[in-house]
Structure 1
Amino acid sequence: MIRNNDFIYDAVSKLETLTHAMIELDSKRKEYDAAISINNQRLNIIAKAAIRDSNIGMILTPFVNQADNEKSNLLFVAKYISKSAANLLKSNNLNYLDVSGNTHIKKNGLFIYVEGQKADKYDKDQSRAFQEAGLKLLLLLLSKPENLVCSYRELSEKTDISIGSVSNIFSELEDLKFILRTKQKRIIKNKKELIERWVIGYNEVLKPRILRKRMKFLQHIDFNLLKDQVAKNNMVWGGEPAAAILTKNLRPEQYILYSNIELSELSKQFRLAPNPNGNLEICELFWKFDNNTITAPPLVVYADLISSGFERNIEMAKIILENEL
C-alpha cells in the first residue's frame, strides 16, 4: 500500500468496530490499492482522498457500461465522501467506505449499510498549482503543449499571470512530479492524475468565480440558430452544447456559454432573463489562446460534463477524454 493511502487502515478499523465483522486486509495488491475479505467475500479497494461532486463523474466514468457483478467486486475507500456522491455511487451499484464508517457494501449474500456517521471536514487542495492562477496556466499547457518551451515571461503574457507566479507554479509542478525539466525542454508527466486534479480544482475553485449569471431562454431553443449566433461573436459553448458539437451525439438540455460580452447585450441577443434555476450558465471566458472553434477547450468541456453528474454527460465526457485529451 502506498503511504498516502494509509487512511484505508483507519476506514477498515472503523468498519470492524461498527459491524463487529471479521475483516482481513491485504495491502500488498499490485493492481489495486488493497483488498479486503468479509465473510469470504473479497473486494478490491480503490483509494481516493475524497469523493465529492467535483470528482464523482471521473470516478463513475470507467464503470458506465460495466456489468453490476463486476462492479460488486470493487470497494471505493476515501477519507471523505459527500452525501450526494455516496448516493450516486450507491445508485450505480458501486460499494464505498469512508473513514467515519459510512458504507454501502453489497456483494452476493453480503450486505452492509451504515450512514449518519459524522465525517471530518475535508480540506480542499491548497496547492498553488490548483488555485486560480495555476489552473489557468495548466489549461494552456494541457491544451497547447507546445507552450511548454516558452519562457516564464511569454507564459505570463499568454495567461495574464505574473512572472513570479508562473515560476512558483512550475516549481510546485516539478515537486509534484507533474512537470519534468530536462536541459532541452519540459515534459508533462502523470497526465491522467494531473487532469483529474485540474478538473477538481476547476469545479471547486475557478468555476464559482467565473460564473457570471444563470439565465433562462424566453423563447423556444433552436440550437442550430444558437450555434450560428455564437459563431459570429466572441463567445464559445461549454458543457452539453460543446459536447453536442464535438461528439455529434447529444441534444443539449443544459447550456453553458463562455463570453465576456455585457450581460445586457447577451440578454437582448438571445432573449434571456435572469433565473437562478435557468438552464443557461454564462461564464467568463478566462483563457486567451485561440481554440479555433465555437467550443471551449476540450479540458473545460470535459470538466463541465463531469461535474453535472448526469450519466449521459459522463458518457460524452469519456468520449472527449479519449478523443480530445
Structure 2
Amino acid sequence: MFIANELLKKMNAMYKDNDFIYEAFSNLQELVKSEITIDSNREPYDAVIQINNQTFYCVAKKNARTSNLGIVINQINNFQNSLKNEKKILFVGEYIAKEVANTLIEKKINFLDVAGNCYINTNDLKIIIEGKKQAKQKNVNQARAFQEAGLKLILLLLTDKDALKYSYRVLADKSNIALGSVSQIMKELEENNYILKAADKRNLKNIDDLIERWVVAYNDVLKPRLLRKTYKALNYDFLRKTVMNNEQNDIFFGGEPAAKIMTDYLKPLDYTIYSNDDLSILGKELMLIPDNNGNVKIFNTCWSNSITNKYKNIAPPLVVYADLIGSGNNRNIETAKMILENEL
C-alpha cells in the first residue's frame, strides 16, 4: 500500500517544498496498479522509493521548464555524481515541460511528474506514460522582485559587492529603476529571506536560490523584451574583433562568445550581443545583414555603466550565465556550470 497518512504528514513537515512528490507517486500508483513504497527520511535524497522491489533515489524540483533546463540538468548530474554508479535515480517534478521531458528521455534520465507522466526505463522495469494533463504551470516569479525592475536591481545586488551598502536612491540610480520600486523590491527580498537586515547592515542570503530564480525570470520575463533584431554576419572574425576592440564600451558580448572569452572552453556558434546603439549604425559597424533565421541576436542592455566587469566588452557574468542556461544546449550548460563556479 502507499504511505500511511501519519507518516505522510511527518514527511510533509520535513520537506515543505517537496510535498508534490507524494502526490506524484500516489498518481503513478493509481495508473500502474503496482505497489509503491516511499521513504524520505534518508538524506541527502528528496525521497527513496521502491517500485516492484526496485529502488530509486529521487531528486525533486517544482518546475522544470526550458528557461531553467540547464539548472535542472546540472542538478541531476550533481546528484548522480554524489551516488554510487549502481544506484538508480528518478527526477520528480511538479511540472515538467514537454521540451524538458524530451531532453530527459534523450539523456536516458528517469522522470515523473505530478500528473503521472513518466519515463522509467531500467533493465528490469519499464514504465512510460505520456499525455496526462498537467496542472497549469505555476508562475513562481509573480513577485515584483522578479519582474523587470526587480531583475535589474537584483542583478546589481548580485554583481556589485558594495551594493547593499548603498542608499535606496543610489540603488535606483545604478539600476535605472524608480526609487519607489527599490523600496518595495527590497522589502520583498527581505520577506523572502534573500536579504537579512540587522541594525544598519544588510546581507544577501540563499544566494544560490536567488540566482536560480533570477535566471528563470530573466529568460522568461526580461530577455524577450530586450530583443531588438536578428542578423547574420558577413565575417565572424571581423565581428569578434570589432566588438572586443570597441573603446566606447557600449557593445557587449553575451552568451557563447562571452563564455569563450571567460572560459576558453566554448567555440561560439550563436552570437548574443548587447547594445543600445542605433541598429543601422551597429549593422554597418559589425557588418551584419538582417536575417530572421540568423545566428546573431542584438539585445538592449539591462544594466548601467556603474556595474564593473573584469572582462572588457562582456556582459556581466550573471547575464552570460543566464544566456547559456536559457539556450538549453548541452555544451552551453556545461560551460555555464564553469561560470557559476568560478565567476558568480
> SS of 1:306's equivalent?
helix
TM-score when scaled to structure 1? 0.94
CA distance 1:154–1:57, change in 2 (3 Å): same
Q: Alpha-carbon deviation of 1:6?
A: 1.4
Is 1:173 the counterpart of 2:186? The answer is no
Could you list the runs of 5+ residues in structure 1 that have no partner in the other structure?
Answer: none
| 1:18 counterpart (6, 9, 31) | 31
Q: Does 1:307 align with 2:306?
A: no
User: Out of 305, 314, 318, which is 1:295 matched to?
Assistant: 314
Contact 1:71 1:94 in 2 (8 A): no
Residue 335 of structure 2 is aligned to residue 316 of structure 1: yes
Seen in structure 2, the aligned counterparts of structure 1 residues 186 and 246 have a Cα distance that, compared at 3 Å, is same
Match of 1:44 among 41, 50, 57: 57
2:126 to 83, 101, 111: 111
Which structure 2 residues correspond to residues 1-325 of structure 1 after superposition, within 5 A?
A: 1=11, 2-62=15-75, 70=85, 73-124=88-139, 125-222=141-238, 224-231=240-247, 233-288=249-304, 289-292=306-309, 293-325=312-344
One-letter code aligned to 2:111: Y
Opposite residue 42 of structure 2, the aligned amino acid is R
- Contact 1:72–1:107 (Cα < 8 Å) also in 2: no
* Aligned length, in residue pairs: 325
Give the Å deviation of 1:159.
1.1
Deviations 1:119-155 (A, max 9, x none): 1220212111111111100000001121111111110
Q: CA deviation at 1:233?
A: 4.7
CA contact (8 A) 1:11 1:97 kept: yes
Amino acid at match of 1:16: Q
In structure 2, what is the Cα distance between the partners aligned to 1:218 and 1:224? 12
Cα gap change, 1:224 to 1:164, in 2 (>3 Å): closer
Q: What SS class does the counterpart of residue 302 from structure 1 fall into?
A: helix
> How far 1:219 moved relative to its partner?
3.6
CA apart distance, 1:21: 1.4
Contact 2:38/2:48 (8 A) holds in 1: yes
Give the 3 Å change call, closer, same or farther, for CA 222–43 of structure 1 in structure 2. Answer: farther
Quick check: 230-239 or 159-168, which moved more? Answer: 230-239
Q: What is the alpha-carbon root mean square deviation over aligned residues?
A: 2.0
Q: What's the offset of the Cα at 1:50?
A: 0.8
Distance 1:231 1:69 in 2: 52
Q: Is the 8 A contact 1:64 1:311 kept in 2?
A: no
Compared CA separation, residues 114 and 71, structure 1 to 2 (3 A): farther
Q: Give the aligned residue type for 2:151.
A: L
Per-residue Cα deviation, 1:149-194 (whole angstroms, up to 9, x for no partner): 1111110111121222111111111111111001131111111111
C-alpha distance in 1, partners of 2:314/2:142? 30
Task: Call closer, same or farther: CA 1:316–1:231 in 2, change over 3 Å.
Answer: farther
- Give the residue type in structure 2 aligned to 1:134: G
Structure 2 segments unaligned to the other structure (5+ residues): 1-10
- Cα distance, 1:4 vs. partner? 2.6
Q: TM-score, normalized by length of structure 2?
A: 0.89
Q: Is the 8 A contact 1:51 1:80 kept in 2?
A: yes
Report the secondary structure of 2:241's partner residue: helix
Matching residue's letter, 1:313: N
Kindly state the Cα deviation for residue 69 of structure 1 after the two structures are TM-superposed.
Answer: 7.9
Q: Is the 8 A contact 2:21 2:93 kept in 1?
A: yes
When residues 72 and 261 of structure 1 are mapped into structure 2, their CA distance, relative to the original with a 3 A threshold, is farther
Paired with 2:163 and 2:86, the residues of 1 have a C-alpha distance of 40
CA contact (8 A) 1:238 1:258 kept: yes
> Alpha carbons of 1:290 and 1:165: their partners in 2 closer, same or farther (altered >3 Å)?
closer
Quick one: which amino acid aligns to residue 23 of structure 2? D
Cα separation, 1, equivalents of 2:65 and 2:17: 19
